[in-house]
Amino acid sequence: MIDVIKKAILAGVGAAALTKEKAEEALSDLVEKGKISAADAKEAAKKIADEGKQEFETASSRVQEKFNELVSKVSSKQSERIEALETRVDELEARLAKVEEAASEPSATE
């Protein structure tokens, strides 16, 4: 499960890097064509990078929250299961003690 989450995050980082690269290419083309100035392109690239970083951090935070919720649910269910098994073991030990006690007593027919 953790590997899946790591791969998803790494895919997001890769997508962000690819998006930044494409944005820089598009801005460079606009500068070469004289549609925008180099300063405007630099400012736009910074804005795109900042927004991408913010979106990535938000997504990472959400993934972490969901992961923590999942772990909490699993831990809770495991605790419930362990508690039920402990109760069952206690009951079985009590039954076994009764059987051993009955077996060690001399029978009334002897």
Supply the Cα-derived Rg of the chain in whole angstroms: 32
Domain chopping of the chain, boundaries:
2-104
Phi and psi for 32 in degrees, rounded to 5? -60, -35
Residue whose token pair is 């060690």: 104
CA–CA separation, 107 and 72 (whole Å): 54
The mean pLDDT value for 64-88 works out to 89
Q: How far is CA 42 from CA 65, 67, 70, 108, in A?
A: 34, 37, 42, 100
- Per-residue model confidence as pLDDT tens digits over 8-53: 666 666 666 656 777 778 888 888 888 888 888 888 888 887 887 8
Global pTM? 0.49
